[in-house]
Amino acid sequence: MREWKGGLCLPLVMVACLALGACGKEPEKKEVIRASAPVPGSKENFVVPFGASPPAPQTMQGKYVAVSHSYTLRLPADAVEAVQRRHLEICIKLGCEVVESQMNRNGNRAWVTAHTSVRLPPAALASFTADLTAPPVEVTAHSETSEDKTLAVLDVDKRLETKLALRERLTTLLHQTNTKNVSDLLNVEHTLAQVQGDIESATAQRDYLRAQTEMVKIDIRYEGAQPDEPKPDGIDWRPLKNAAKDFIDILVESLANVMTFTARILPWTPVVVLAGWLARLVWRRWRRKAA
């Protein structure tokens, strides 16, 4: 009877110890989760190394809004290039990212257009726009748009979390020492490579969405033109001058078209003449036989 009681007490003691250990770990687990909980609205970037656990979904509960501004600037044609270069230099000093920059001009430099697209930190927006609208620039159009990207960011992060967990499981399966044939190993490695490609694609998409929401995009269009001549007193002869200039331009263009047409048909003139002579000869012989 004593042996039976002693044999029964030992399992009871072990069960009690395990229960006490589980109760002792529960507060510690809650404390870790509470310490790692993010601040609402946080948008901090995270980088998940290979083999690391994915972030908790609570870290992506903030709002992600893509803000963009569009400016159309009018200024003298000879000042477009210098003003655009100055804006780019100031933008780089403020920590911006140049997305696109181009310039178009015709031969006589009377008409010049340029376009610049940058991403700027929100804190530097006021300073940059103050210089953007400084003389000799005239702002002819300005628009601001906002687009909520929260669902897109959450979707990408959720897919990235799932792919990271799958990669971890596949890596563990690949390094297990259980007996596996070559075909199984190749299938696991192939699936792991596909998952790694999906992770890299999702990471790039996530970074692009973060850049859209954490930076302000500014599109700038420069329109340069020669200053208008002052209207003279009395009769305004400018429409007549413009009409005479257009007449000469049209006349020269028509003459050029005639010369081009003549140059194209000139090599075929002997062939056409020979074909006409042969047709006339055949026609005469047919008439003689018919008579």
Instruction: Give the SS3 label for residue 38.
Output: coil
Q: Cβ distance 145 to 67 under 8 Å?
A: yes
Helix (H) or strand (E) holding 100: strand 97-105
CA atoms within 13 A on the CB side of 49: 1
DSSP three-state, residue 141: strand
Closest-CA residue to 247 (of 255, 236, 257, 235): 255
Beta-bridge mates of residue 103:
114
Dist CA 255 CA 247 (whole Å): 12
Q: How many CA atoms lie within 13 A of 213 on its CB side?
A: 23
pTM recorded for the entire structure: 0.47
Q: Summarize pLDDT for 70-102 with one digit per residue, the tens.
A: 999 998 888 888 999 999 999 999 988 898 999
122 CB-near residues (< 8 Å, 6+ apart): 67, 215, 216
**pLDDT, tens digit, 9 for 90 and up, residues 97-108:** 898 999 887 655
The candidate with the shortest Cα–Cα distance to 69, out of 133, 150, 7, is 133
The pLDDT > 90 percentage for the chain reads: 12
Q: Specify the 3-state DSSP secondary structure of 281.
A: helix
Along the 291 residues of the chain, how does pLDDT read in single tens digits?
A: 444 444 444 444 444 444 434 444 444 333 333 333 333 333 333 334 433 433 433 333 468 888 899 999 998 888 888 999 999 999 999 988 898 999 887 655 567 889 999 999 989 999 998 988 888 888 999 999 988 888 888 888 888 888 888 888 888 887 775 656 777 778 888 888 888 888 888 888 888 888 778 889 999 999 887 665 555 556 767 677 778 878 888 888 899 999 998 888 888 888 888 988 999 888 888 888 887
Sheet holding 97-105, edge to edge: 97-105, 111-120, 216-225, 65-76, 138-148
